[in-house]
Amino acid sequence: MLSVVIPAKNEAAAIGQIVGRILSVLPDTQVVVVNDGSTDNTAEVARQSGATVINHPYSKGNGAAIKTGARAAAGEVIVCMDGDGQHAPEDIPRLLARLEQGYDMVVGARQKGSQASVGRGLANALYNKLASYMVEQRVEDLTSGFRAVRADKFREFLYMLPNGFSYPTTSTMAFFRVGYSVAYEPIDASKRIGKSHIRLLRDGTRFLLIIFKIGTLFSPLKLFAPVAGLMLLLATGWYGYTFSTAGRFTNMSALLYTGAVLIFLLGLISEQITALMYKDNGNDASKP
């Protein structure tokens, strides 16, 4: 069975046609619309269109709505998509076809021209580069909210997902770092219906923090080692300068050398703690 989870906040203008198109393409699908504290008639429109509606008494955030929908989903596969008309239900079979090739998650990767603005496109390109470095895999679209995922594996990470708009970032990086298979399927995102709830500066900063948070959670040395290396270079450069000009080794050089060693050791210890934590929790990717 397939479940489609749609978080929706004040999406009455779009939600009805989205649910109708999903059921037209995949008639036996469970469509779960999580009404995230809407002040319009989103819930009523979704219910009349054939969706199962779960109401949040107040707005908890996009990620919180996804978590609510994932817990209520009865299907072995969950498709997450936006309720604003950007994602085409007709693309769902292509995501499912890729999933059947042995992947655990398939993300709809927005192609050029599908970004809402030039600024957001550049920001997403930066996020993709940083995430690729953190997980040592190519990340094509870190923030896409359109994805098909195996329900049991997705639920392993629900406790990690933020309540805001960063759930795609967290879930993608988490899947990569524990060794689950992730694929990307090209899609063309349409212009949303209605007003966007994302604020570029606020949510962009939050996305960056999430990337670093997940990086330290899964691969701390990816962050600690470059900082330690930079301090080592600064210490060596300062020592070379003071030795050539004053013929002595200064307290600043000693401080920088000591800081470099301590930061590297902290990253190394964090790496070992992370490995033990996931082994104890049963998330060791080497397990069959």
pLDDT for residue 203: 57
Domain-embedded: residue 211: no
Distance, CA of 228 to CA of 212 (rounded, Å): 16
The mean per-residue pLDDT over the stretch 10-28 comes to 95
Quote the pLDDT of residue 38. 94
% pLDDT > 70, the chain: 85
Residue 216 has pLDDT above 80, yes or no: no
Is the pLDDT score of 196 beyond 80? no
**Which residue, of 147, 167, 198, is where some domain finishes?**
198
* 28 shares its domain with 153: yes
- Note whether 122 and 59 are same-domain residues: yes
pLDDT of residue 260: 95
Q: Tell me the average pLDDT across 213-230.
A: 84
pLDDT score of 285 more than 60: no
The reply to whether 268 and 130 lie within a common domain is no
Q: Is the pLDDT of residue 61 over 50?
A: yes
Residues 87 and 227 in one domain: no
72 pLDDT more than 80: yes
Mean pLDDT, the chain, integer: 86
Query: Is position 236 within any domain?
Result: yes
pLDDT exceeds cutoff 80 at 124: no
Assess whether 64 and 158 both reside in one domain.
yes
Provide the token pair at 275: 């490995």
Total structural domains within the chain: 2
Mean pLDDT (whole number) for 215-241: 89
Q: Is residue 174 part of a domain?
A: yes
CA dihedral (118, 120, 124, 126) positive or negative: positive
Q: What mean pLDDT is predicted for residues 148-162? A: 92
* Residues 117, 16 share a domain: yes
- Give me the percent of the chain exceeding a pLDDT of 90: 57
Q: How far apart are CA 224 and CA 232, in angstroms?
A: 12
Least confident piece of the model among 57-71, 88-102, 117-131:
117-131
Lowest mean pLDDT segment, chosen from 7-11, 110-114, 265-269? 110-114
pLDDT of 48 above 90: yes
When pLDDT is averaged across residues 57-62 and rounded to a whole number, the result is: 93
225 within domain boundaries: yes
- Among 183, 198, 213, give the residue marking a domain's end: 198
Q: Is 272 a domain residue? A: yes
90 domain-assigned? yes
- 178 against 196, higher pLDDT: 178
Place 287 in a pLDDT band, splitting at 50, 70 and 90.
very low
Q: What is the pLDDT of residue 200?
A: 52
Same domain as 178, residue 50:
yes
Domain boundary among 198, 213, 234: 198
pLDDT reported for residue 207: 65
Judge if 148 and 254 occupy the same domain. no
Q: Are residues 102 and 177 in the same domain?
A: yes
Alpha helical stretches, state H, 73-117: 92-99
pLDDT at 113: 59
Residue 214 has pLDDT above 80, yes or no: no
| CATH value at residue 188 | 3.90.550.10
Containing structural domain, residue 66: 2-198
Please report whether residue 286 resides in a domain.
no
pLDDT of residue 8: 95
Residue 280 has pLDDT above 60, yes or no: no
Q: Determine, yes or no, domain membership for 210.
A: no
Taking residues 252-262, what's their average pLDDT? 95
Residue 211 clears pLDDT 90, i.e. is over it:
no
What are the distances in angstroms from CA 202 to CA 35, 164, 166, 197, 285? 23, 11, 12, 11, 34
Indicate if 56 and 191 belong to the same structural domain. yes
- Dump strand ranges (E) for the chain: 2-8, 30-36, 52-56, 77-80, 105-110, 147-150, 182-187
Same domain, 64 and 100: yes
Residue carrying the six token digits 């950007």: 86
**Do 107 and 179 belong to one domain?**
yes
